[in-house]
Amino acid sequence: MKRVVVTGIGALTPIGKNVDEFWQNAVAGKSGAGTITRFDASQFRTRIACEIHGFDPKDHFDRNEIKRTDLYTQYAYVASDEALKLSGLEIDKMNPFDIGVIWGTGQGGLSTFEDAVTTHAQGNGKPRYNPFLIPKMLPNMAGGMIALRHGLQGLNYTAISACATSNTVLMEAFNHIRLGTCKVVVTGGSEAPISPASIGGFAAMKAMSTRNDDPEAASRPFDVDRDGFVMAEGSGCIILEDYDHAVARGATIYAEMAGAAMTTDAYHMTSTHPEGLGATECMKRSLDVAGLNAGDVDYLNAHATSTGVGDISEVKAAHRFFGPDSKVKIAGSKSMTGHLLGAAGAVEGILSIKSIQDGVIPPTINTETIDPEFPKMNIVIGSAVETDVRVAMSNTFGFGGHNATVVFKKFE
């Protein structure tokens, strides 16, 4: 099996429109939440979200590109452009069939579909649909368009496992490189879910916070007063590369991807297993692949959505796996970014990589009183912690019972 290293990262998030800005604001504990401006949400149960403010597609794309792509694909473009630039890859000097794209999204071009159906419903019955409707809404299109944009002709597909999607595609890319299928994979996820149907649907499930008068404090993982997640949009991209190929070209190596695994709860359509049994096994198997033990992990970026059932099941799983005397530090970055659904694992993977590079663990903000029902764990709240991070683990869990865990370690 080949070693897999990280040679590029790119981010477009509610707390930063590039990696440096994203990282600085995460360390500073900045919230990206506010009142929804994407549409009139005044009559909705939940009226807050983590939007990307100041993003203008015209700053990045020409008129035809904008017309042909949904916002989730545009977000994918921006993050992958940054990651490829930072990687220093000279694509024109490589065999293009050695570079693949494995991308993820939970909802794809939902807004495009929603707008088309709304326009039709409000019309006179005569169907008038945009010829780009289908390609704009397809969930595989972002990955295909990244390849088209950069001339990447290796394997290309999209995996979807709800909010575990980005870690799923990271695992897929990791395994393809280990097996020698390709030398480089552009991988990550993008999501543009702040639309009436998406907000309305999740609100109807009572999965989202209704702290509408105090949006910046609404996402509060582990807190006794948590009342649901805050929807977010954006994209994260990670360039994974065959170690030998990266060294041969003199690439900057950010970290090594050491392990990944998936399990399924097979318990409930939307709820995690109350004792976190699937999550426990997923963490164990990811470290088995990495050849590491629970005691080697310094930082766990928890899925930590700020939901009642989800948070406690994950902490129970961590307590069972790491043990009651574990020194592992746990933090929930969704307290700042909100929940990027299918893109969550990619942006949280970037935070894990940066924590290894800089020796800093971003905080869980807004958490004031940890739920007394939780078993005792070392949860980082309030402000960032400076500490040596040699191994970082990141969890993601999705509707359908999907659990996906990835492990990064300091490159040596």
- Give me the residue spans of the domains in the chain: 4-409
User: Are residues 230 and 15 in contact, defined by beta-carbon separation less than 8 angstroms?
Assistant: no
Query: What is the structure's pLDDT at 124?
Result: 77
**In which residue are the tokens 């989202």 written?**
208
Active centre residues (catalytic): 163, 303, 339
pLDDT in tens, the chain (412 residues): 999 999 999 999 999 999 999 999 999 999 999 999 999 999 999 999 999 999 999 999 999 999 999 999 999 999 999 999 999 999 999 999 999 999 999 999 999 999 999 999 988 778 889 999 999 999 999 999 999 999 999 999 999 999 999 999 999 999 999 999 999 999 999 999 999 999 999 999 999 999 999 999 999 999 999 999 999 999 999 999 999 999 999 999 999 999 999 999 999 999 999 999 999 999 999 999 999 999 999 999 999 999 999 999 999 999 999 998 999 999 999 999 999 999 999 999 999 999 999 999 999 999 999 999 999 999 999 999 999 999 999 999 999 999 999 999 999 9
Pairing of strands 255-264, 299-301: unpaired
Fold of the 4-409 domain:
Peroxisomal Thiolase; Chain A, domain 1 (3.40.47)
**Rounded to an integer, what distance in angstroms lies between the CA atom of residue 362 and that of residue 336?**
10
Residue 81 vs residues 77, 139, 276, 359: alpha-carbon distances, Å: 6, 19, 37, 26
Dump pLDDT digits (tens) for 59-84.
999 999 999 999 999 999 999 999 99
Q: What is the DSSP letter of 407?
A: E
The predicted model scores a pTM of 0.97
Give the total residue count for the chain: 412
Query: CA 266, CA 250: separation in Å to the nearest integer?
Result: 45
